[in-house]
Amino acid sequence: MTENEHIATTGDDSESTELCAQCGVSIDTSEWHPVVADDGADGELQLYPFCDETCRDEWE
Ligand SMILES: [Zn+2]
């Protein structure tokens, strides 16, 4: 008997994809996409990826 409950998840490719900070769509990070760097309240730098410039503009 073989237990196959450890089926691969769909979240394993997080190194090559990110989610748009505005609309949540997957971004192929191997291609150019807008990224905004912003300081949080604690001064920690955060990077926000966007699928295109329209989302980046709307995100503000
Ligand atoms: Zn977007």
Q: What CATH number has the domain bearing residue 39?
A: 2.30.170
CA–centroid distance, 47 to ligand 1, in Å, is 14
Give 8 Cα–ligand 1 centroid separation in angstroms: 27
Burial of 59 (0-12, 13-18, 19+ CB in 10 A): middle
Q: How confident is the model at residue 50 (pLDDT cuts 50, 70, 90)?
A: very high
Does 41 reside within a domain?
yes
Structure tokens at 31: 């291609």
Residue 9 belongs to a domain:
no
Q: How far is CA 26 from CA 11, 21, 22, in A?
A: 11, 10, 11
**1: pLDDT strictly greater than 80:** no
- Judged against a pLDDT cut of 60, whether residue 13 lies above it is answered with no
42 CA to middle of ligand 1, Å? Answer: 26
Rounded Cα gap, residues 59 and 44, in angstroms:
19
Q: Let me know if residue 10 belongs to a domain.
A: no
The structural domain count of the chain equals: 1
46 located within any domain: yes
- The more confidently predicted of residues 20 and 29 is 20
In this structure, is residue 51 part of a structural domain? yes
- pTM for the complete prediction? 0.66
Residue 33, domain extent: 17-59
In a domain, 3, yes or no: no
